[in-house]
Chains A and B, each alone.
Chain A
């Protein structure tokens, strides 16, 4: 089998994806900060909803831009929506953890979660474009 650049890129992408596994394992062994233990469970649920809203804002905005007359359209709608929502959720949660750890005021943390969710969706969308490229027709 001839090894082409396509195979190398697939291997690179798989390695990048699997690299998260040992990082998560290490993170699970770290001691939890007291700050996070004082936050009620309902607050975590509300933050989850805020992160989802941030991702939803990015998803809807980009869908409207991709579907405008003259724009390229959306070839894989399920992947598009999933990637944007997942990106928003991950970025929102990361911002919440960083903001809470830094002692940021409560409402400002939620604002940062929403903005990060909006931006995170864009980052993941570009990332997914590399993993799910549209095959070029010969």
Chain B
């Protein structure tokens, strides 16, 4: 089972890497409606993901960000989706280079962090502790 600190580290890496990608691509490319909207949404997802990783995972349990905690899986899959959107854009406009590999790695890391987080919460008993249900811990 992956511990919370390792998960937080993966999440923070994904958020910081995506922020770097956004700054790089935003500066280099011309803006259109789709690009501005995608980047705005990704920037919001980066902010919320950073808040979730820092407050919900690293700080003591008395400090929580309920909104980020409730929507954390959507936030990190949105980050992964943003990366795949950039890959799609590169493929469509025939501008595939080695940066596409980094986008793919970041997308896999974001999706993996979301899946591992849910798995970790179920294994630790934070979620799914319902007696008699398929996804639950056995009764003590």
Q: Which residues of A contact B (CB under 8 A)?
A: 39-40, 42-43, 46-47, 49-50, 53-54, 56-57, 60-61, 63-64, 67-69, 71-77, 104-111, 114, 118
The secondary-structure label for the interface of chain B is: helix
Instruction: Chain A residues near B33: list those with CB within 8 A.
Output: 105, 108
A118 engages B35 (CB within 8 Å) = no
- Report if A56-B84 is in contact (Cβ < 8 Å); known contacts: A75-B133, A107-B89: no
CA A105 – CA B84 in complex, angstroms? 15
CA A53 – CA B83 in complex, angstroms? 11
Q: How many inter-chain residue pairs (CB < 8 Å) link A and B? A: 115
Instruction: Chain B residues near A110: list those with CB within 8 A.
Output: 38, 81, 84-85, 88-89
Does any Cβ of A come within 8 Å of B91's Cβ? yes
Instruction: Chain B residues near A104: list those with CB within 8 A.
Output: 34
A40 CB contact (under 8 Å) in B37, B73, B84, B91: B91
- Report if A56-B74 is in contact (Cβ < 8 Å); known contacts: A42-B91, A110-B85: no
CA A46 – CA B78 in complex, angstroms? 15
Does any Cβ of A come within 8 Å of B87's Cβ? yes
- Report if A73-B73 is in contact (Cβ < 8 Å); known contacts: A60-B118, A64-B118: no
Closest 8 CB pairs of A and B: A105-B34, A73-B133, A108-B34, A57-B77, A60-B73, A110-B85, A107-B34, A67-B128
- Report if A43-B92 is in contact (Cβ < 8 Å); known contacts: A53-B84, A74-B134, A108-B37: yes
A60 engages B115 (CB within 8 Å) = yes
A122 to chain B: closest CB distance in Å? 12
Instruction: Chain A residues near B133: list those with CB within 8 A.
Output: 73-75
CA A11 – CA B116 in complex, angstroms? 41
Q: List 15 A-B contacts (CB under 8 A).
A: A40-B91, A49-B84, A56-B77, A56-B111, A60-B114, A61-B71, A64-B73, A73-B135, A73-B136, A106-B34, A106-B88, A107-B34, A107-B37, A111-B41, A111-B85
A75 engages B92 (CB within 8 Å) = no
Instruction: Chain A residues near B134: list those with CB within 8 A.
Output: 73-77
